[in-house]
Structure 1
Amino acid sequence: MSTIYSVASSLDGFVAAPGDDLDWLLRFGFEPFQEHHDRFFADVGVLVMGATTYEWLLEHDDTWAYPDRPTWVFTSRELAVPSGADVRFVSGDVTGHQDAIVAAAAGRDVWVVGGGLLAAQYQEAGLLDELRVTVMPVALGAGTPLLPVAAPTSVFDLVGTTTFEGGAVELHHRRGRD
């Protein structure tokens, strides 16, 4: 079981363009990545995301994409829950919820989804075991940083790469020496 931040990033290290715009990413489509994502997702027991990612998913999907996985959403606001979804709203520090999240994963992986702020909290708390960053062949110049940590807290070792049609490459890192 690992806690994994799996995300797409621009060449210059942004996960969203200004205004939380993902059009730059969506233009690449999902087909070249689907089989690889499906293999990754088969080992995921729980999803964890912030409110911005959660709201984006609600706005851009007719149905909840993860009906068979519990999802923790870190927020201080009340948000809608899609029919049939197991969504749990929490607030506060990630360390205060990690034990319950891991227990709900039932021996499977925890996927930290979406923007860098929540992933940075996980990293700063020493809770990220793996980073899977699919670097897309585009530079944005500005936007939401990949992992805006206040101070480096760990070194990650590169354990694999996967190339995709169209010039994207996934860099798979695992927590190494601190």
Structure 2
Amino acid sequence: MGRLTYVTNVSLDGYIEDDEGGINWFPLGDEVFAFHTSLLRSVGTLLYGRRLYETMAVWETDASLAARSDLTADFAGAWQAASKVVYSTSLDAVSTADTRLERRFDPAEVRALKTSGDLTVGGAELAARAFEAGLVDECRLIIVPVVLGGGKPGLPAGVRVDLDLIDEHRFGNGVVQLHYRVR
């Protein structure tokens, strides 16, 4: 049985977007970028909400991103190699290969996907549904040393999830990765 891992970049005060919807506060750096690439290579399927999918699809639709460096080429290759499921009621079609569009989140379908390998879930609203359904096995928070003071929360409200810390890593730029297992 595979694991479903929620992966998100989050400010120290728990936001994935600032109060204007921006994410330009995230200081990626080569070390963190390489970590994200390694994480992508370790899973077979990425579950996305519409907004995150549209943000990430450029890694397949804009070849100039991969051409910037060996690091970006590796990331683009890892992203393109993964299967993707996008949950959206407003998206008409997907623009990337090996991508399926679903109109609603079906916990039974996600359980079936877990039988074929590890998955990640991205996008706070989609992750909240996965947490509510008891599907999330692990949580990886990439904590950025910034306090935004408001924005879009990275973790669901109204859902209690008990966690055990299984790993942590401090990157040279002050970003910290916390890896938890859901009890």
Q: TM-score range by the shorter chain?
A: 0.7 to 0.9
1:63-101 deviation per Cα after TM superposition (whole angstroms, max 9, x unaligned): 594222110011012344335x11111122340421343
Aligned residue number for residue 2 of structure 1: 3
Report the TM-score, using the length of structure 1 for normalisation.
0.84
Is 1:76 matched up with 2:89? yes
Which whole-Å CA distance do the structure 2 matches of 1:118 and 1:145 have between them? Answer: 12
Q: Which letter does structure 2 place at the counterpart of 1:6? A: V
Partner amino acid, structure 2, of 1:126? G
Cα distance, 1:20 vs structure 2: 2.3
Counterpart residue number, 1:50: 49
Which protein has the bigger helix share? 2
**Which of residues 148, 151, 155 in structure 2 aligns to 1:143?**
151
RMSD of aligned residue pairs (Cα, Å): 2.1
Alignment partner of 2:168 out of 158, 161, 172: 161
Q: Note if contact 2:131-2:159 (Cα within 8 Å) is conserved in structure 1.
A: no
User: Is the 1:94–1:122 contact (alpha carbons within 8 Å) kept by the matching residues of 2?
Assistant: no
Given that 1:124 and 1:149 are in contact with CA atoms closer than 8 Å, whether structure 2 keeps it comes out as no
Contact 2:87 2:105 in 1 (8 A): no
Superposition pairs of residues 4-83 of structure 1, within 5 angstroms: 4-25=5-26, 28-58=27-57, 62-63=62-63, 65=76, 66-82=79-95
Deviation string for 1:117-141 (max 9, x for gaps)? 1111111110000000011000111
Query: Partner of 1:67: helix, strand, or coil?
Result: helix
| Percent identity of equivalent pairs | 31
Aligned length: 168
Change (3 A) 1:29 1:93: closer
Shift of 1:166: 1.5
Superposed, 1:87-166 pairs within 5 Å as 87-103=99-115, 106-107=116-117, 109-113=118-122, 115-152=123-160, 154-166=161-173
**Residue pair 1:121, 1:149 contacting (<8 A) in 2 also:** no
- Secondary structure of 1:18 counterpart: coil
Q: Scaled by the length of structure 2, what TM-score is found?
A: 0.82
Q: Runs of 5+ in structure 1 lacking a partner?
A: none
Cα contact 1:160–1:172 (8 A) shared by 2: yes
Find runs of 4+ consecutive structure 1 residues off by over 4 angstroms: none
Change over 3 Å in CA distance of 1:82–1:30 after alignment to 2: farther
